Structure 1
Amino acid sequence: MRYLLLIGVFLCQTAGAKPKYDLGKHLQPTMFAVTMVMIHDVVNPPAASRFYTYCLLGAHEIIARQQKGITSPASFVRDFKPLELTQKEPYDYQVAALYCILETGRLILPSGSMLEEDQQKLLSQLKKEGYSESALQQSVNVAQMIAKQIVTYAADDNYRKLSARLRYRPTKRDGFWYPTPPAYIEAIEPHWRIIRPMVIDSCTQFKPKSPVTFSKDTTSEFYKLAYEVYRVGNTLTEQQRFIASYWDCNPFAVNTSGHMSIGFKKISPGGHWMNITSIVTAQAKLPFDKALQIHSLVAMTLMDAFISCWDEKYRSNRIRPETVINRYINVRWQPLLQTPPFPEYTSGHSVISTAVAELLTYMLGDKFAFTDNTEILFELPEREFKSFRQAAAEAAISRLYGGIHYRDAIENGQTQGKAIGEFIIVRLKKAGILPAF
């Protein structure tokens, strides 16, 4: 009987079914380490969503192998199959999942080598918490094995083909997007529509209604939209200014003074929502496995929402308010926020924030109040929200306050994002993914 008991313990350890501790407290720092590298690299918003997704995908698969309550991504992610794992020695699957996030980031991010220091810090901390050198090494082996396969899967999503596409050439014709001051940065990811989605069927599945037609006629609907941006920008309250700045999420804003230009690196819209996800899963005191799964689902939702939004941006290719107002209303007018370097319609923050809010509402509830401290790093105070939908609605309207979107791009973007979020939720339900509570 004694020998049978020992064999049973060994098998349990090999399966990784019962980790030494719940490592939930390490999840937010691990995710933030990835975010900081993206800030360093000035990763654009669509690309950031892709990197978050792949960093979490392998970790998600690792925990799904060990916990019946966690559904494998292979059940609902396009072209994704269960990964091979030949590890025979005992390993802690939560350690492996955490390390896999960093290892995948190390392999796919431009400055991924910066995460090596975070990997060592994580292992050192886990040693202090009682993990043996052997247990950690076996877990690292699993993480490295899975991360390599994730990188292989990611290589087939058409990302590498982007650089081979013809360079995007903007047109100065009326109504079409053109680079804006102060840096006149060229178009960001004009071919992002070719990226393979994670859950949605195609980039065109959630094509929004057509934008209001451009017109210089002062009685036209378009002119009224442009003039609203101008009017609102000239009469902003302090609260509206703060809301616009809070949701700015511009990875690289450029300020000029004379002949000198200074760039400021900030978190991306997706990075902001990933940090909110870390905040709320910790607040809900979710176990590591459920918290990591929600992070992974949020990242996938972001990625699909950006693919859908960017497809429309470069189809409608609509002119930004700043350009319209400077040409036809007031040549000296400037928006509160720096205009992003890509076409206007639909509003990216409106699409992705609404989609993620729908997902988080499904997972955590409609009245989940939380305090967001993401922007403290950028010298902005924390904000309290009564629900995810309230936060998403504020993020959407912030684009009008900031002077970078017309109202129809915001409202139709919200409709587009809601449809994406609802579709993903239906897919998750079919795969057996239930709310956290």
Structure 2
Amino acid sequence: MKAVVKSLWMMVALQSFAINTFSQNENQHQQDLQMLADNVFNLSEVMLHDVVSPPAACRVYAYALLGAYEATFFGKGGLPDINQKLKVNPGMQPPSPPKNFNLSFCANYTLLEVGRQLMPSGFLLDEKKKTLIDHFINAKKLSERDIAQHVRYSMEVARQVVQYAKSDDYNKLSTYTRYTPKKGEGYWYPTPPAYMSAVEPQWQTVRPFFIDSAAQFAPLPPAPFSKDTASSFYRQMREVYDLSNHLTDAQKEIANFWDCNPFAVAISGHMAIGLKKISPGGHWMGIAGIACKKADISLDSAIFVHMLVATTLHDAFISCWQEKFFSDRIRPEAAINKYLDSEWRPFLQTPPFPEYTSGHSVASASVAVVLTYFLGDNFSFTDTSEIYFGLPERRFNSFYEAANEAAVSRLYGGIHFRDACEQGVAQGKRVGQFVLNSLFDYQP
């Protein structure tokens, strides 16, 4: 697999960026790749603690992995310079790399420090940073003097990345007028069991990394709301209702595997108990780690792939959230309860935001484009991302196969209409293709 990937890097003409010859033994290399994946998951665990929304989760992944990328780019070189090609150049001032530069330490420490500063409970990552230091000292990879130099370097990179993050208008979200659902038929309104308010209604105002604007990749309009039994909307509503009443075990397994709803709650009497679930972005960050390990690519290549997956996810959610609150379409649960069956409930719990397009579909398709570009169209892998959450692994023959399954899972779950899934895939692919075209001479 290593030779195939090296050839792929050369084929896509990443200038001087190619899979590096490993200076360490293969076992150590795999440990380094696993450490990167583990620390990305450490971010996910804090997000679970804080119940971070799917768009906000991708913002954290994006800046944290950007930090790992910058630490690598300035300390080691060899990676494409993306700073000049972002929508807004971070204007990073490269600090002097430490002597005996250790890529694994600096990338992971920077990643953790950026996450620590961006999340409300980021202090939980302090223990992970201490564990990282102890590992490198105990393994005699770095002396205490080396550690001090590496920490200073990583902290400076993290400081500049966080400064860049603070200019993306995220902090303005809390200043907007509170969102109020529109009056009239066919518009979104809160659903059972928690009847939560809409999540991140102004997310489209956050600065993207690559796309020109939140509305740049607007999908085709959704089927117009209609109670006419011959209309597209009514037929799709009926499809969700009929399908949900005859789900196969395989369809239920698919729906559960891709649920990824951080807002899911269980009602017990008068109590609403939060169910800890990873976000869609977190699921795909896990897949990126699994894929990089299987491909056995060099650590700097893996960091680059992770960073591009994370920033693509960020832009995909901006694009999707723009459409959600523009079309503002009613969820199947609300529509079916009002027009078909007041007692009906979907197989999955309905997330608290408008229906069109499907966030899973947009995000999954955008990442599938990126990972396919780097690792190949027939890259098979076993997705173990959900084992931590008590779900079995699933095997896929390609990233597109996984993305398409993620999309249709929302139909099986009863939380999206078909056109939201299909048009979401198309929207996500366009975002992913634009990102690649921004960096490389990409032809879909």
Give the Cα–Cα distance (whole angstroms) in 1 for the partners of residues 147 and 263 of structure 2.
Answer: 38
Give the Cα–Cα distance (whole angstroms) in 2 for the partners of residues 260 and 82 of structure 1.
Answer: 48
Residue matched to 2:4: none
RMSD of aligned Cα (Å): 1.8
Deviation at 1:216, TM superposition (A): 1.1
1:47-93 Cα deviation digits (max 9, x unpaired)? 00000000011210121224443112303212124522343752434
Deviation at 1:255, TM superposition (A): 1.3
1:194 and 2:205 are equivalent in the alignment: yes
Equivalent residue for 2:436, pick from 415, 425, 435: 425
1:128 and 2:143 are equivalent in the alignment: no
Equivalent residue for 2:56, pick from 36, 47, 50: 47
Give the Cα–Cα distance (whole angstroms) in 1 for the partners of residues 287 and 148 of structure 2.
Answer: 31
Give the Cα–Cα distance (whole angstroms) in 2 for the partners of residues 111 and 81 of structure 1.
Answer: 25
Give the Cα–Cα distance (whole angstroms) in 1 for the partners of residues 342 and 125 of structure 2.
Answer: 46
Percent identical pairs in the alignment equals 50
Give the Cα–Cα distance (whole angstroms) in 2 for the partners of residues 165 and 305 of structure 1.
Answer: 22
1:220-262 Cα deviation digits (max 9, x unpaired)? 1111010000001001000000100000000121111332322
Equivalent positions of 1:4-153 (< 5 A) are 23-87=32-96, 89-90=98-99, 91-130=101-140, 131-153=142-164
Equivalent residue for 1:367, pick from 352, 356, 378: 378
Deviation at 1:172, TM superposition (A): 4.0
Give the Cα–Cα distance (whole angstroms) in 2 for the partners of residues 88 and 375 of structure 1.
Answer: 37
Amino acid at match of 1:338: Q
Equivalent positions of 1:228-247 (< 5 A) are 228-247=239-258
Amino acid at match of 1:294: V
Amino acid at match of 1:118: K
Equivalent positions of 1:355-394 (< 5 A) are 355-394=366-405
Deviation at 1:133, TM superposition (A): 0.9
Equivalent residue for 1:164, pick from 172, 175, 182: 175
Runs of 4+ deviating beyond 6 Å: 18-21
Equivalent residue for 1:214, pick from 195, 203, 225: 225
Structure 1 residues 269, 89: CA separation in 2 closer, same or farther (over 3 Å shift)? closer
Which range moved further: 326-335 or 171-180?
171-180
1:92-116 Cα deviation digits (max 9, x unpaired)? 3432111000011111111000000
Give the Cα–Cα distance (whole angstroms) in 2 for the partners of residues 89 and 366 of structure 1.
Answer: 39
Give the Cα–Cα distance (whole angstroms) in 2 for the partners of residues 146 and 228 of structure 1.
Answer: 51
Q: Across the two proteins, how many residue pairs are aligned to each other?
A: 416
1:174-210 Cα deviation digits (max 9, x unpaired)? 0000000000000000000101110111111101111
Deviation at 1:25, TM superposition (A): 3.3
Unaligned runs of at least 5 residues, structure 1 = 1-17
Give the Cα–Cα distance (whole angstroms) in 1 for the partners of residues 217 and 97 of structure 2.
Answer: 44
Residue matched to 1:276: 287
Structure 1 residues 309, 115: CA separation in 2 closer, same or farther (over 3 Å shift)? same
Give the Cα–Cα distance (whole angstroms) in 2 for the partners of residues 62 and 89 of structure 1.
Answer: 11
Give the Cα–Cα distance (whole angstroms) in 1 for the partners of residues 163 and 238 of structure 2.
Answer: 49
> For the Cα contact (< 8 Å) 1:61–1:73, is it kept in 2?
no
Secondary structure of the structure 1 residue equivalent to 2:264: strand
Secondary structure of the structure 1 residue equivalent to 2:275: strand
> For the Cα contact (< 8 Å) 1:85–1:142, is it kept in 2?
no
Structure 1 residues 88, 147: CA separation in 2 closer, same or farther (over 3 Å shift)? closer
> For the Cα contact (< 8 Å) 2:379–2:398, is it kept in 1?
yes
Give the Cα–Cα distance (whole angstroms) in 2 for the partners of residues 344 and 358 of structure 1.
Answer: 23
1:350 and 2:356 are equivalent in the alignment: no
Deviation at 1:283, TM superposition (A): 1.1
1:249-300 Cα deviation digits (max 9, x unpaired)? 0012111133232210110000000011111101111111000110000001
1:331-389 Cα deviation digits (max 9, x unpaired)? 10000000000000001100010010010000100000000111111111101000000
> For the Cα contact (< 8 Å) 1:61–1:82, is it kept in 2?
no
Amino acid at match of 1:101: L
> For the Cα contact (< 8 Å) 2:265–2:274, is it kept in 1?
yes
Give the Cα–Cα distance (whole angstroms) in 2 for the partners of residues 333 and 86 of structure 1.
Answer: 59
> For the Cα contact (< 8 Å) 1:255–1:261, is it kept in 2?
yes
Which range moved further: 380-389 or 94-103?
94-103
Give the Cα–Cα distance (whole angstroms) in 2 for the partners of residues 186 and 97 of structure 1.
Answer: 38
Unaligned runs of at least 5 residues, structure 2 = 1-21
Residue matched to 2:348: 337
Deviation at 1:159, TM superposition (A): 0.2
User: Please, what TM-score do these two structures have when normalized by structure 2?
Assistant: 0.91
Give the Cα–Cα distance (whole angstroms) in 2 for the partners of residues 306 and 62 of structure 1.
Answer: 26
> For the Cα contact (< 8 Å) 2:226–2:233, is it kept in 1?
yes
Amino acid at match of 1:114: L
1:250 and 2:280 are equivalent in the alignment: no
Give the Cα–Cα distance (whole angstroms) in 2 for the partners of residues 202 and 171 of structure 1.
Answer: 24
Structure 1 residues 89, 66: CA separation in 2 closer, same or farther (over 3 Å shift)? closer
> For the Cα contact (< 8 Å) 1:103–1:147, is it kept in 2?
yes
User: Please, what TM-score do these two structures have when normalized by structure 1?
Assistant: 0.92
> For the Cα contact (< 8 Å) 2:74–2:94, is it kept in 1?
no
Give the Cα–Cα distance (whole angstroms) in 2 for the partners of residues 257 and 45 of structure 1.
Answer: 25
Give the Cα–Cα distance (whole angstroms) in 2 for the partners of residues 83 and 198 of structure 1.
Answer: 15
Deviation at 1:126, TM superposition (A): 1.1
Give the Cα–Cα distance (whole angstroms) in 2 for the partners of residues 406 and 85 of structure 1.
Answer: 48
Give the Cα–Cα distance (whole angstroms) in 1 for the partners of residues 285 and 344 of structure 2.
Answer: 34
Amino acid at match of 2:129: Q
> For the Cα contact (< 8 Å) 1:316–1:345, is it kept in 2?
yes
